Amino acid sequence: MYSEEDDDFIKPEKLPIYRKGKEIFDMVRKITDLIPEDNEYLMDIKSCMLSDAAQLTVKVAGAEAAELYDLKMESAAIIRKAARDLMVQNHSLDMFGFEYVEYYKIVRELIEEYRLLFIDWVAGFDKWDYVIDRWGLFNPPGVGPFDKDPDDDIPFRGFDDDPDE
């Protein structure tokens, strides 16, 4: 577990991508607060939008706590999906008669800013800190799901083994 004294540890709240995600969540919340509570369809859309917006910070924090490349990439994939879903929610709002759909342009602009931060954030993942993803989705470049794990060549001593024997 990290502590604040660790040289490499950065609180997620200090990262530009995290702060932008919080800004997006706050804007989505303000816009969805305008949704009339008697419109069941729009209330369902509101729920989805708030959930997607929350993923933009929650998964950044989770990825920052994880050290392994595949765990970071898994969080990044979830973030990408949530952001892409948010980008198109204005269509659902419009389709179900949301009166203030033009405000959603603000969210789309913020997501574009987030996307650019996301690219830099993912590029900073340590590609050498990994275990092989046997599903093949989140391996660093050049590593495949059927590759031999170099750790398999390291002899394992049991916890009860005496190293002097």
Joined together, the tokens standing for residue 100 give 């203030």
**Pick among 3.40.605.10, 3.30.465.10, 1.10.1060.10, 1.20.1440.60: CATH of 12-153:** 1.20.1440.60
In this predicted structure, the answer to whether residue 3 has a pLDDT above a threshold of 70 is: no
In this predicted structure, the answer to whether residue 139 has a pLDDT above a threshold of 50 is: yes
pLDDT, average across residues 113-131: 96
pLDDT of residue 111: 98
In this predicted structure, the answer to whether residue 109 has a pLDDT above a threshold of 50 is: yes
Domain ranges for the chain, please list them.
Answer: 12-153
pLDDT of residue 2: 45
Q: Which helix (H) or strand (E) covers residue 122, if one does?
A: helix 104-123
Residue 5 CB burial class (10 angstroms; 0-12, 13-18, ≥19):
exposed
Distance, in Å, from the CA atom of 18 to the CA atom of 24, rounded to the nearest integer, reads: 10
pLDDT of residue 160: 64
Distance, in Å, from the CA atom of 22 to the CA atom of 58, rounded to the nearest integer, reads: 10
pLDDT, average across residues 100-125: 97
List pLDDT tens digits, range 38-66. Answer: 999 999 999 999 999 999 999 999 999 99
pLDDT, average across residues 61-86: 96
pLDDT of residue 161: 58
In this predicted structure, the answer to whether residue 6 has a pLDDT above a threshold of 70 is: no
End-to-end CA distance of the chain: 33
